[in-house]
Amino acid sequence: MRAWKEFTKGIIKENPVFVMALGLCPTLAVTTSAFNGVGMGLASTFVLLGSNTVVSLIKKLVPDKVRIPMYIVVIATFVTLVQMFMKAYFPALDKALGLFIPLIVVNCMILGRAEAFASKNNLFYSIIDALGVGVGFTLALTLIGAIREILGSNSIFGYQVVEGFQPMGFFVLAPGAFLTIGVLIAIFKAIEKKNKSN
């Protein structure tokens, strides 16, 4: 039963984007469309899964003082793998995400999970935790991407939504990204408060 709890906590209660406000840079930069959001979410989930697995396996071998640089090297290795894989198989997505693929290294969400969870728990729970947080991150990115794509270009995953609707280009640009996430965070907070008072 604990496994299920570890899995679901990353999706809603400790959602990395809306509740913890971690990994904000890729969240805002690449979510101009729902597809880009899914791509970035899956890439980050893969890195998170890899780093949590390795960190959990080597946690007893790593001296305490050099653990952060060690974790960063582990994360950077998996990011390099993702970078090469995307260049080879998804060149269009690679172009759309651009700079933000190498920048997965400094996504504080991944280092945060390694430090706060994987370095203290066994392999099984570390994998569950990575999957839960990864799914939460991917869902958040897809949601933001979908909202911005519907309002900003009147389409979702490339398909037209409403005929004759004049899209608001504002939402595809930088200010639209800030506005969307600001409102979503407020909504999340309001729902949480309502749940608490009930």
Partner 1 sequence: MSISGLFVIAVSAILVNNFVLARFLGLCPFMGVSKKLDSAFGMGGAVIFVMTIASAVTWIIQHYILNKFGLGYLQTIAFILVIASLVQFIEMFLHKALPHLYKALGIYLPLITTNCAILGVTILNIDEGYNFIQTIVHGFSAGLGFLLALVMMAGIREKLELADVPESLKGLGLTFVTASLMSLAFMGFAGLV
Binding site for partner 1 (CB under 8 A): 21-22, 24-25, 28-29, 68-69, 72-73, 76-77, 79-80, 83-84, 99, 102-103, 105-108, 111, 173-179, 181-183, 185-187, 189-190, 193
Which residues neighbour 195 within 8 Å (Cβ) at sequence distance 6 or greater?
Answer: none
CB of 82 to partner 1, least distance (A): 10
CB of 139 to partner 1, least distance (A): 19
Q: How far is CA 45 from CA 140, 184, 189, in A?
A: 12, 22, 25
CB of 186 to partner 1, least distance (A): 4
CB of 51 to partner 1, least distance (A): 13
**Buried (b) or exposed (e) across 123-153, using 16+ Cβ within 10 A?**
eebbbbbbbbbbbbbbbbbbbbbbbbbbbbb
CB of 20 to partner 1, least distance (A): 10
* Residue whose CB is less far from partner 1, 120 or 189: 189
* Residue whose CB is less far from partner 1, 116 or 190: 190
Nearest Cα to Cα of residue 118 among 48, 63, 69, 61: 48
Parallel, antiparallel, or unpaired for β 155-156 and 159-160?
antiparallel
* Residue whose CB is less far from partner 1, 162 or 186: 186
Partner residues linked to 159 by β-bridges: 156
* Residue whose CB is less far from partner 1, 75 or 131: 75
Q: Give, for 173, the enclosing helix (H) or strand (E).
A: none
Which residues neighbour 32 within 8 Å (Cβ) at sequence distance 6 or greater?
Answer: 145, 148, 149, 152, 172, 177
Identity of the amino acid at 32 = T
* Residue whose CB is less far from partner 1, 22 or 146: 22
